[in-house]
Amino acid sequence: MKNNILIDRHGRTISYLRLSVTDRCNFRCQYCMPEKGIDFVSRSELLTYEELLYLSEIFCQLGITKIRVTGGEPFVRKDITSFLHTLRKIDGLEKLAITSNGTILQKHIDELKEIGIDSINISLDSLDKERFYQITRRDQFDKVYSGIVKLLDAGFKVKVNCVVMDGKNEEDIIPFIELTKNYPISVRFLEEMPFNGSHSFNTIKWDYRTIYNYIHEHYKQIEKVSAKPASTSVNYQIPGYTGTFGIIASFSRTFCGTCNRIRLSAIGDLRTCLYGPPVANLRDLLRMNISKDQLEMAIINAVRMREKDGHAAEDQNKKNILESMSILGG
Ligand code: SAM
């Protein structure tokens, strides 16, 4: 295996790939997609499972050690668990994780365990049924919540992602932290980003400082918990609580200096920053029948040119900043 080949011009090593398997989703979260959905791509535009596996093998040979399968909603793609079985076996892949909205994966829990999925992130923006419905436009709270409990019972490492939105779910922040009292769960509060498929914005009320200060008003003691060097979240724990919580400054972009991740969208767009434009389309290169060496060089060069941070990347990307996370690969 070739190690540490993916290094950008600012000296950051890339070891984490977020791999999107579909742009489709069974939810219509207000911060992600308009109610009518987005222009989903045709089947022929999607990377096939064979193509996704071939590219994943190449990425792992170049030094990727962790893959997170995401979407859209990964479990809406047919035969996803067979794909995960094969993906798990790739040489050099140390960690395989999934991000899901938790509605369809329940029936796959035993199989996911068997495959050896290391951790599962579930998106859940409210613990209140009605607010959950308002945000996701789907009446599926009970399914998602019971799914989280089942995943924990099955021994999975579970993180819950909650996007904090002004006037929509700030009331949920404290209940989410109370969930960490008895559950070994990690709740992460995310700043809302402008990737919603419809409108742009330049400021947010609930940035990482406001979220932290709000929590601090409710809990006198908050302990900082150590995190991995490339972690996007700053993590904390209420003393005596079983689980932890974290805050991800996804809009403020305070973590770019240690960012170790790249993204491949379901149609093959490679992004070296969520805020930047695609830097190559690997599906098109693959379908041009170029050699493996040429494909590797295209990836290595694209990574090398990575911008310093998400603000510099955004400057390159004025046209596409509104695209939904379901297209970008969340
Ligand atoms: N369907 C899966 C899910 O629900 O987790 C995976 C895809 S989803 C696009 C991945 C993550 O992106 C979710 O945690 C979601 O909350 C987050 N996300 C989507 N749009 C966002 C936005 N505008 N701001 C912040 N987070 C966003």
Work out the pLDDT band at 1, boundaries 50, 70, 90.
very low
Compute the distance from residue 52 Cα to the ligand 1 centre, in Å: 21
At residue 67, what are phi and psi to the nearest 5 degrees?
-120, 135
213: three-class secondary structure by DSSP: helix
Atom number in ligand 1 closest to CA 194: 23
Residue 320, pLDDT > 70, answer no
Mutate to test the pocket of ligand 1, among 199, 325, 326 (most ligand atoms within 8 A of CB): 325
Number of Cβ within 10 Å of residue 139's Cβ equals 11
Residue 8, pLDDT > 90, answer yes
**Which residues are CB-contacts of 2 (< 8 A; sequence separation ≥ 6)?**
61, 62, 63
Residue 80, pLDDT > 80, answer yes
Residue nearest to atom 2 of ligand 1 (CA): 100
Q: How do residues 166-219 score in pLDDT, each as one tens digit?
A: 999 999 999 999 999 999 999 999 999 999 988 888 899 999 999 999 999 999
Ligand 1 neighbours (beta carbon < 6 A): 25, 31-32, 70-73, 99-101, 123, 161, 163, 190, 192-193, 195-196, 250, 325-326, 330
Radius of gyration, alpha carbons of the chain: 19
pLDDT mean over 116-120: 95
Residue 2, pLDDT > 60, answer no
Residue nearest to atom 14 of ligand 1 (CA): 123
Tell me which residue of 109, 114, 189 sits closest to 152, measured CA to CA: 109
The answer to whether the predicted template modeling score (pTM) of the entire model surpasses 0.95 is: yes
Compute the distance from residue 263 Cα to the ligand 1 centre, in Å: 14
Interatomic CA distance for residues 51 and 35, integer angstroms:
31
Compute the distance from residue 290 Cα to the ligand 1 centre, in Å: 33
Mutate to test the pocket of ligand 1, among 32, 211, 322 (most ligand atoms within 8 A of CB): 32
Tell me which residue of 290, 177, 306 sits closest to 236, measured CA to CA: 177
- Structure-block tokens of residue 112: 């996911």
Work out the pLDDT band at 227, boundaries 50, 70, 90.
confident
Compute the distance from residue 1 Cα to the ligand 1 centre, in Å: 33
What value does the mean pLDDT of the chain take?
Answer: 95
Residue nearest to atom 11 of ligand 1 (CA): 330
Interatomic CA distance for residues 138 and 33, integer angstroms:
13
Interatomic CA distance for residues 242 and 239, integer angstroms:
9
Compute the distance from residue 293 Cα to the ligand 1 centre, in Å: 34
Residue nearest to atom 1 of ligand 1 (CA): 73
**Which residues are CB-contacts of 217 (< 8 A; sequence separation ≥ 6)?**
none
Dump strand ranges (E) for the chain: 16-20, 66-70, 95-100, 119-123, 157-164, 186-191, 223-225, 233-237, 244-248, 261-264, 269-271, 280-281
Q: How do residues 20-68 score in pLDDT, each as one tens digit?
A: 999 999 999 999 999 999 889 999 999 999 999 999 999 999 999 999 9
Q: What is the pLDDT of residue 52?
A: 98
Q: What is the pLDDT of residue 3?
A: 56
pLDDT mean over 69-79: 97
**Overall size of the chain counted in residues:** 330
Q: What is the pLDDT of residue 117?
A: 97
